[in-house]
């Protein structure tokens, strides 16, 4: 029985390191290129698996060499791949990523095979999904599949939805069915219509999310940590993060969410704030290394107090 079921995306990350972002129409000389394994669904699943969770990933790859390599990689990470479908005649999802010398990133994704993930695929994986302690979803696959997963999972454990990348007018059923809805500050701005959202104005955003039907809400603020508000007392609580030297922030949000799923499933005695505090640490670690999944820590590299 898995601790964590992820219904989400796989993307091949094509990462260009550059001194800065190009201007429109400009050709820049980049510094370095790496191909890596990414996609928010797989990234979050890999994080949880490396921390020690048993995981299952429901996802869709293309039959191209990228898809074949990705399947092998997921197996090496000890992820249950029984519900990964391989699609003919469509490419595996790709992400064009630019990382600047200051550690900032910008990403364009082309979903490809991820668009083929269907409600039917979710139903086929129902047994695995419903026996998991945590269900984790994002917005990189068709939202109908996400909704189906949340419906099927209702009453079985804790569902976490990461509203990334940002989507306008999210189906209110998704917000209502998610036990925890988590977004970063820019995604929160888009969904609430607020400008210049900060820790000090977070309560306003949180109230807006509650009015949209959310239960527990988490907003991440990068180096400043995260705020959360539970459905019970609705007050925004700030959990700061330690400061680290940022080398590459790509995937830090995914490291946070994968860690959160790990802590909720494997350490049910911890408060949500303690889970957030520890997940901030895992995310901070990932920021100090280049790449996406290549920067996610595994249990043996981490201090033992994170697992007590």
**CA-CA distance, 122 to 144, in Å (whole number)?**
10
**What 3-state DSSP class applies to 61?**
strand
Of 43, 80, 121, 285, the residue at the interface with ligand RIB (CB under 6 A) is: 43
Of how many residues is the chain composed? 308
**Which candidate, 56, 64, 113, 37, places its Cα nearest to that of 291?**
37
Site membership for ligand RIB, residue 157 (CB under 6 A): no
Of 250, 279, 280, 285, the residue at the interface with ligand RIB (CB under 6 A) is: 250
173 catalytic residue (yes or no): no
The pair of structure tokens assigned to 260 is 């959160």
Of 248, 256, 259, 276, the residue at the interface with Na ion (CB under 5 A) is: 248
Q: What is the 3-state secondary structure (H, E, C) of 127-170?
A: HHHHCCCEEEECCCCCHHHHHHHHHHHCCCCEEEEECCCCCCCC
Binding mask 274-303 for Na ion (x = CB under 5 A): ------------x--------x--------
**CA-CA distance, 37 to 128, in Å (whole number)?**
24
Beta carbon of residue 286, minimum distance to Na ion (angstroms, whole number): 5
Q: Which of Na ion, ligand RIB, none sits in contact with 279, Cβ below 5 to 8 A by type?
A: none
Residues numbered 254 to 273 that lie near ligand RIB (CB under 6 A) are 254
**CA-CA distance, 60 to 215, in Å (whole number)?**
29
Of 13, 64, 179, 254, which is the active-site residue? 254
Count of residues engaged in binding ligand RIB, rule: CB under 6 A? 15
**CA-CA distance, 173 to 148, in Å (whole number)?**
10
| Binding residues for ligand RIB (CB under 6 A) | 11, 13, 38-40, 43, 95, 107, 109, 140, 250-251, 253-254, 292
| Binding residues for Na ion (CB under 5 A) | 248, 286, 295
């Amino acid at each position: 029985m898995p601790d964590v079921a992820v219904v989400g995306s796989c993307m091949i990350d094509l990462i260009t390191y550059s001194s800065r972002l190009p201007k429109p129409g400009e050709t820049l000389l980049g510094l370095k290129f790496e191909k890596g394994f990414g996609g928010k669904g797989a990234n979050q699943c890999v994080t949880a698996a490396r921390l020690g969770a048993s995981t299952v990933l429901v996802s869709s790859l293309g039959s191209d060499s990228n898809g074949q390599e990705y399947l092998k990689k997921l197996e090496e990470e000890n992820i249950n791949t029984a519900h990964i479908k391989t699609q003919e005649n469509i490419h595996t999802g790709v992400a064009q990523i630019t990382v600047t010398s200051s550690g900032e990133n910008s990403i364009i994704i082309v979903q490809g095979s991820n668009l083929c993930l269907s409600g039917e695929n979710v139903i086929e994986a129902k047994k695995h999904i419903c026996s998991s302690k945590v269900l984790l979803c994002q917005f990189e696959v068709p939202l109908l599949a996400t909704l189906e997963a949340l419906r099927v999972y209702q009453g079985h454990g804790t569902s976490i939805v990461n509203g990334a990348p940002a989507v306008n007018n999210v189906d209110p059923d998704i917000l209502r069915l998610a036990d925890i809805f988590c977004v970063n500050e820019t995604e929160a701005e888009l969904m609430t219509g607020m400008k210049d959202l900060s820790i000090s104005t977070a309560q306003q955003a949180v109230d807006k999310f509650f009015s949209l039907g959310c239960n527990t809400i988490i907003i991440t603020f990068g180096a400043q940590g995260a705020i959360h508000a539970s459905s019970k007392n609705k007050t925004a609580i700030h959990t700061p993060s330690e400061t680290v030297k940022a080398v590459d922030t790509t995937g830090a949000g995914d490291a946070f969410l994968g860690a959160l799923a790990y802590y909720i499933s494997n350490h049910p005695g911890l408060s949500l704030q303690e889970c957030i505090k520890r997940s901030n640490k895992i995310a901070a670690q990932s920021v100090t290394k280049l790449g996406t999944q290549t920067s996610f820590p595994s249990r043996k590299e981490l201090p033992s107090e994170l697992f007590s």
